[in-house]
Amino acid sequence: MKNIKKINKKKEIKLTAKEKKKIKKEKKNYKNKNSVIIEALKIVQEERNWISDEIIIAISKEIGVSYNDIEEIATFYSQIFRKPVGKHIIKFCDSVVCYINGYKNIQKKIEYHLKIKPGNTTKDNLFTLLPICCLGNCNFSPTIMIDKDIYGPVSTNSIIQILDKYL
C-alpha cells in the first residue's frame, strides 16, 4: 500500500473540467460510488494515457471513494496503465492459437524494428509493446492490436507496413 502523505507532498494534480463532467455523467448510471471506479479510471486514462498516484487522489476526491479502493482496482486491471505508455499501444496476442500460427516471429520482428521488449516503450514514446492473452480474433491469427485497430493474420512481412501507419 502506498503512503498517501508522500504522494500528497508532490504537486497536486486536478481533474480537468471535461474529465469531471464525464465522470459526473457516468456516476448517474450507478447506485454505488465504488461501481463507477473503473469508468472513472477509463475516462481519465483516455485523456492522459495513464493513471498516476496523484490522479488516483483526484479521482478519489471526485467520486468520494478511498484512494486504496481505487488503487486496488487500478493495479488489478491490465488495461489500466499505472506508468506512462507510448502514444500507440501495440498488443500482440500470445494465446495458444496465435502461438501455433507463429506470433513469436511477429513479436521478434516488432522487438527488433522498434528496439523494445514487451512491457517497454520506445525512446520517442511513440509505441508501447504489450502481450495479451487473447484478442478474440483466432480465425485470423496471429493477431495484433494497435490502439483500437485489430490486424490479422499478420506476417513478418506485413508488420512493418502496419507499424508505419502509426508514425
User: What is the pLDDT at residue 75?
Assistant: 93
**pLDDT at position 2 over 80:** no
Domains and CATH numbers, the chain: 4-76 (1.10.10), 88-164 (3.40.30.10)
Contact by Cβ (8 Å): 137, 150: yes
Q: Of 23, 25, 32, 33, nearest to 64 (Cα)?
A: 33
Report the pLDDT value the prediction gives residue 166, as an integer from 0 to 100.
96
133 labeled part of a ligand binding site: no
pLDDT per position as a tens digit, 96-150: 999 999 999 999 999 999 999 999 999 999 999 999 999 999 999 999 999 999 9
State pTM to two decimals: 0.80
Which stretch of DSSP H or E encloses residue 149?
A: strand 149-151
Beta-sheet pairing, 144-146 with 127-132:
unpaired
